[in-house]
Amino acid sequence: MGEVILTMKGIDKSFPGVHALDHVDLEVRKGEVHALMGENGAGKSTLMKVLTGIYKKDSGTITYEGKEVEFHNTREAQDAGVVIVHQELNMLGHLTVAQNIFIGREFKKGIRIDDKKMNEEARKLFDRMHIDIDPKETMSKLTVGKQQMCEIAKAISHEAKVIIFDEPSAALTEAEIEELFKIIRDLRDQGLGIVYISHRMDEIKVITDRVTVMRDGAYVGTLITKDCTKDDIINMMVGRVIYEDPKTKNMTPKGSPVVLKVDHLNAGKMVQDVSFELHKGEVLGFSGLMGAGRTETMRALFGADPIESGDIYINGKKVTIKSPQDAVKHGIGYLSEDRKRFGIVVQKSVAENTTMADLDEFSNGPFINKKKEKKVAEKFVESLATKTPSVDQLVVNLSGGNQQKVVIAKWLTRNCDILIFDEPTRGIDVGAKNEIYKLMNRLAAEGKAIIMVSSEMTEILRMSDRIVVMCEGKKTGELDISEATQENIMNMATREIN
């Protein structure tokens, strides 16, 4: 590690009802990858938004390259060489990949934008990252994982001296994460300062040099990664021990009835002849690499995408699902992997989001029974341990993990018997993950049937009673948890069926 390039000292920031940062310190050196860790709501992303001019600090100092600075917007920060890759995607879906990467600094031929040059430069970035993305493709047509890789390419395209990665691997496959790590190591070796925010403990040990831990908006301490253990970091983050043992036995009650049967489902290229059964009280894991068709299968099942052929049976009765309204009517709730687009309305309150899937229950003619709505929302805030000053707080002001809990509360309010959890802990810290795991196990024990799509192998092995594996739109295998290993799941996840 080289000399100090960035120092944040005594940073304080408050929002209405929330003291987000309480005199926080951070030091970043040239040629290091510095992890910034803490539970959801600890203030990590807020600290980085203060650094890059998205938020104005209330007090404290920022010293960059030996001079005290205060950036007033992200453009100022980027021009100075401080770039952030956000956890939530900031791309414009109607533009091409290349147009998104170079937006605001387009290459030009005279007065006209030179799309050919932008495509060439974008291709060079992707070649450097060892990923295959067409620069001319429309952004909205890419998967969440590929959109995230474009966000990273955009950051790398700036002449950066400090790059902040906010949960960069949350939507990536194992192979994509390996390529990401190669890029990060290359940037570190060039003398850049890297701030790496992640909830994946195993990544921290692999990619980082030092770890700074925050808790409840305050600085806890900084450790040298190679000299500390995973438990050391977790204890600093949450003040308690978290156990992550895999499940070894199928916990579905014997003789449990089939509540959902999917028979030869077809829905475009990514859902081809998919069949499976789900039992009452079961957690059925869906595993596979990015682009395997797991999310597309769930969207078709939920009526969000059209079904071309195949049958769906609920409690033995054939049903027709042509829209999400049909799915909800039949007792299916869906927690999307992209919660901000499909799960919540961020400018509405916690209470309003909690009841929006079951408004009839809270309506009296054209009016909402606010007292009843508030009571139910408060019940779920308590049972899910959602961190919010009140149920009147706008969801946009909550951390990612707490936003996810609001989505879960929405479907629990509806009392759906079949719950689809698509990447339920994406971007969520180890403490909040543990709470969601406990909740899912409790729901299954109460008789709810759960489908869980996850890209994290440890999550699949910890939570599933049975595992369905997909590859390129097809089901390639099915395993009971008692016989499941990382090796046989990965073999199925990379095995095509013609």
Full set of structural domains in the chain with CATH: 4-238 (3.40.50.300), 258-493 (3.40.50.300)
Which range among 85-99, 241-255, 407-421 has the greatest average pLDDT?
407-421
Q: Which residue has the higher pLDDT, 167 or 379?
A: 379
Per-residue pLDDT reduced to its tens digit, 393-410: 999 888 777 888 898 889
pTM of the model: 0.60
Per-residue pLDDT reduced to its tens digit, 68-125: 999 999 989 999 999 988 766 678 889 999 999 998 889 998 889 999 999 999 999 8
Tell me what pLDDT residue 39 has.
72
Out of 165-179, 256-270, 386-400, least confident range: 165-179
Tell me what pLDDT residue 306 has.
96
How many Å apart are CA 495 and CA 3, to the nearest integer? 48
Q: 13 is written with which tokens? A: 């920031």
Tell me what pLDDT residue 18 has.
79
φ/ψ of residue 358, rounded to 5: -140, 45
Per-residue pLDDT reduced to its tens digit, 291-326: 789 999 999 999 999 999 999 999 999 999 999 999
18-29, strands of its sheet edge to edge: 18-29, 4-15, 59-64, 67-68
Q: Give yes or no for residue 217 having a pLDDT over 80.
A: yes
Q: Which residue has the higher pLDDT, 236 or 312?
A: 312
Q: Give yes or no for residue 258 having a pLDDT over 70.
A: yes
Provide the mean pLDDT of the chain: 89
Out of 24-28, 190-194, 228-232, 321-325, least confident range: 228-232
Q: Are strands 309-314 and 317-319 parallel, antiparallel or unpaired?
A: antiparallel
Q: How far is CA 62 from CA 8, 15, 48, 70, in A?
A: 5, 20, 11, 7
> 313: which residues sit within 8 A by CB, 6+ positions away?
258, 260, 261, 262, 263, 319
Q: Give yes or no for residue 332 having a pLDDT over 70.
A: yes
Percent of the chain whose pLDDT exceeds 70: 95
Q: What is the mean pLDDT of residues 168-187?
A: 80
Out of 203-217, 233-247, 271-285, 345-359, least confident range: 233-247
Q: Give yes or no for residue 364 having a pLDDT over 90.
A: no
Q: 119 is written with which tokens? A: 């495509």
Show the DSSP H helices in 52-90 as ranges. 74-80
How many Å apart are CA 356 and CA 358, to the nearest integer? 5
Tell me what pLDDT residue 182 has.
86
Q: Give yes or no for residue 498 having a pLDDT over 90.
A: no
Q: What is the mean pLDDT of residues 476-486?
A: 94
Q: Where residue 148 falls among pLDDT bands split at 50, 70, 90?
A: confident
How many Å apart are CA 217 and CA 456, to the nearest integer? 28
How many Å apart are CA 401 and CA 382, to the nearest integer? 15
Show the DSSP H helices in 262-330 as ranges. 294-301, 324-329
Tell me what pLDDT residue 240 has.
58
Question: Across-strand partners of 1?
Answer: none
Q: What is the mean pLDDT of residues 377-384?
A: 89
Tell me what pLDDT residue 488 has.
87
Q: What is the mean pLDDT of residues 171-189?
A: 82
How many Å apart are CA 438 and CA 140, to the nearest integer? 34
Tell me what pLDDT residue 282 has.
98
Tell me what pLDDT residue 168 has.
82
Task: Centre a 10 Å sphere on the Cβ of residue 25 and count the other Cβ atoms it contains.
Answer: 17
Q: What is the mean pLDDT of residues 463-469?
A: 97
Q: Give yes or no for residue 464 having a pLDDT over 90.
A: yes
Q: Give yes or no for residue 204 having a pLDDT over 50.
A: yes
Tell me what pLDDT residue 196 has.
95
Show the DSSP H helices in 74-224 as ranges. 74-80, 97-101, 115-129, 144-157, 174-189, 201-207
Out of 18-22, 184-188, 189-193, 434-438, least confident range: 434-438
Question: Across-strand partners of 224?
Answer: 210
Q: Are strands 332-335 and 363-364 parallel, antiparallel or unpaired?
A: unpaired
Q: Where residue 171 falls among pLDDT bands split at 50, 70, 90?
A: low
At residue 493, what is the residue type?
A
Q: Where residue 327 falls among pLDDT bands split at 50, 70, 90?
A: very high
Out of 30-39, 86-95, 360-369, 389-398, least confident range: 86-95
